[in-house]
């Protein structure tokens, strides 16, 4: 049977506020057993000590466990919960829920529609993070998730969201005592290493780069290696990678579409404007009502340009010891996208190492068909 994907964007009053989700479930519009993924933006710092991600995940597990007849812990194995911290600037905390159910037919369509698949890697040792071990395990899992989504052609993949682990002071210490030095001793830096290796895993799986091209020392160093559809997000609350593949499939009867593009830098909204016009026929300047009714969300990555410049002018994000650069970058990219879409509940996630070109990042637009 074909799949049907439904997408719900839900506001919240705090990381654990699931009143709107509860209402949806009670109304019957959303069925717990159909939920395959939840992508949340929570109001933490998005860095090492961001516990809003854990709080939100916990609230979702507590909500879904009785409905699925399982324990809160077991929910993690059924639903890809990806909580991305950081709603700097105008960004508004919210959850995007992806539900998948069987269609009434298995006839391939002439047009393609939104399809989704998920997969998980094994747990990583601290010293594997940010290195080839993580790249390769991720690549395998992406291939698995494509199969789960019913997508054969890498060209039909428009977004691969990954949640990956980070190093804490404890993990670093434990590894060092075993004589297995991790890739960095800095917890904040480890987030970038894990995100970068995971993104390269996507690039390998989709044939954007060859696995032989990636050596340990290229990770976070050779920015010419990247994926145009990877979005990776590190969190303290897990030890393995969670993968969500989204794309278009003739075996999907969803009422939703997805398209993607690349921002060359943090203020490059030309691609988004073009995507709206060319892929979906919406003029963002004059058709604000169409924007409001059709656009569900944009999924995008943000980072401070590693060369210290945007359009040739110096930025200060990497020299700011009071605010981490990922927070600056989310605030900037979030506002730039919001100024086009007229909506601030956007999924903008920080740290785009090997996700799109240096200083830029991939974006995907999900719209009603």
CB of 21 to its own copies, least distance (A): 16
The angle formed by the CA atoms of residues 269, 275 and 278, to the nearest 5 degrees, is: 135
Output 21 or 317, the one with its CB closest to its own copies.
317
Count Cα neighbours of 23 within 13 Å in the Cβ-side half-sphere: 9
Q: Which residues are catalytic?
A: 163, 233
> Is residue 139 a contact partner of residue 207, using CB atoms and an 8 Å limit?
no
Q: Are 343 and 295 in contact (CB under 8 A)?
A: yes
In this complex, which beta carbon is closest to its own copies, that of residue 3 or of residue 324? 324
Residue 175 assigned ligand-binding role: no
How far is residue 62's CA from residue 48's CA, in Å, rounded to a whole number? 24
Dist. CA 21–CA 333, nearest whole Å: 27
Angstrom distance (rounded) from CA 116 to CA 119: 11
Closest CA to 240 of 188, 201, 189: 201
Give how far Cα 106 sits from Cα of 2, 36, 268, 286, 349, Å: 5, 20, 40, 39, 35
To the nearest whole angstrom, how small is the minimum distance from the Cβ of residue 329 to its own copies?
7
Closest to its own copies by CB, 64 vs 139, is 64
CA distance 122 to 240: 6
For residue 244, give the nearest of 202, 208, 197 by alpha carbon.
202
List 244's β-bridge partners, or say none: 118, 161
Q: Is 303 annotated as a binding residue?
A: yes
C-alpha distance from residue 14 to each of 8, 91, 92 (Å): 18, 13, 10
Smallest distance from its own copies to CB 10, Å? 12
Two tokens, residue 203: 């690039």
Strands 347-350 and 295-302: parallel
350 annotated ligand binder? yes
Q: Is 57 known to sit in a ligand binding site?
A: no
Q: Is 356 annotated as a binding residue?
A: yes
- Annotated ligand binding at 221? The verdict is no
Is 150 annotated in some ligand binding site?
A: no
Residue placing its CB nearer to its own copies in the complex, 31 or 311: 311
Nearest approach, Cβ of residue 315 and its own copies (Å): 6
| 152 versus 320: smaller Cβ distance to its own copies | 320
Query: Least distance (Å) from its own copies to the CB of residue 344?
Result: 5
Q: How far is the CB of 48 from its own copies (least distance, A)?
A: 5
Give the separation between CA 164 and CA 299, rounded to whole angstroms.
17
Cβ proximity of 135 and 230 under 8 Å: no
355 is annotated as contributing to ligand binding: yes
What does the alpha-carbon distance between residue 184 and residue 50 come to, in Å, rounded to a whole number?
20
Binding site, annotated residues: 53, 84-85, 195, 233-234, 303, 330, 349-350, 352, 355-357, 360
Binding positions for Mg(2+): 303, 352, 355-357, 360
Give binding residues for substrate as ranges: 53, 84-85, 195, 233-234, 330, 349-350
């Amino acid at each position: 049977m074909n799949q049907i994907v439904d997408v719900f964007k839900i506001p919240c009053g705090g990381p654990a506020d699931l009143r709107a989700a509860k209402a949806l479930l009670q109304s019957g519009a959303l069925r717990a057993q159909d939920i395959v993924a939840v992508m949340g933006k929570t109001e933490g710092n998005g860095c090492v000590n961001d516990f809003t991600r854990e709080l939100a995940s916990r609230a979702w597990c507590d909500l879904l466990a009785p409905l699925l007849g399982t324990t809160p812990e077991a929910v993690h194995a059924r639903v890809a919960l990806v909580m991305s911290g950081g709603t700097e600037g105008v960004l508004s905390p919210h959850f995007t829920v992806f539900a998948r159910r069987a269609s009434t037919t298995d006839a391939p369509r002439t047009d393609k529609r939104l399809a989704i698949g998920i997969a998980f890697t094994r747990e990583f040792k601290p010293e594997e993070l940010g290195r080839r071990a993580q790249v390769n395990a991720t690549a395998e899992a992406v291939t698995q998730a494509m199969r789960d989504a019913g997508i054969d052609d890498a060209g039909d993949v428009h977004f691969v969201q990954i949640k990956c682990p980070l190093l804490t002071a404890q993990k670093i210490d434990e590894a060092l005592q075993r004589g297995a030095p991790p890739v960095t001793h800095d917890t904040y830096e480890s987030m970038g290493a894990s995100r970068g290796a995971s993104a390269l895993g996507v690039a390998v799986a989709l044939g954007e780069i060859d696995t032989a091209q990636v050596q340990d020392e290229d990770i976070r160093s050779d920015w010419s290696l990247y994926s145009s559809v990877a979005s990776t997000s590190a969190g303290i609350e897990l030890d393995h990678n969670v993968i969500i593949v989204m794309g278009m499939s003739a075996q999907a009867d969803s009422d939703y579409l997805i398209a993607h593009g690349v921002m060359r830098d943090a203020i490059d909204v030309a691609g988004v404007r073009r995507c709206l016009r060319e892929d979906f026929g919406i003029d963002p300047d004059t058709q604000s009502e169409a924007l409001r009714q059709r656009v569900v969300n944009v999924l995008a990555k943000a980072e401070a340009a590693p060369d210290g410049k945007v359009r040739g002018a110096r930025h200060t994000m990497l020299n700011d010891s009071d605010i981490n650069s990922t927070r600056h970058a989310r605030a900037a990219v979030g506002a730039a996208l919001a100024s086009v879409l007229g909506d601030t509940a956007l999924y903008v996630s920080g740290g785009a190492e090997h996700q799109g070109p240096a200083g830029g990042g991939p974006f995907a637009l999900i719209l009603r068909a």
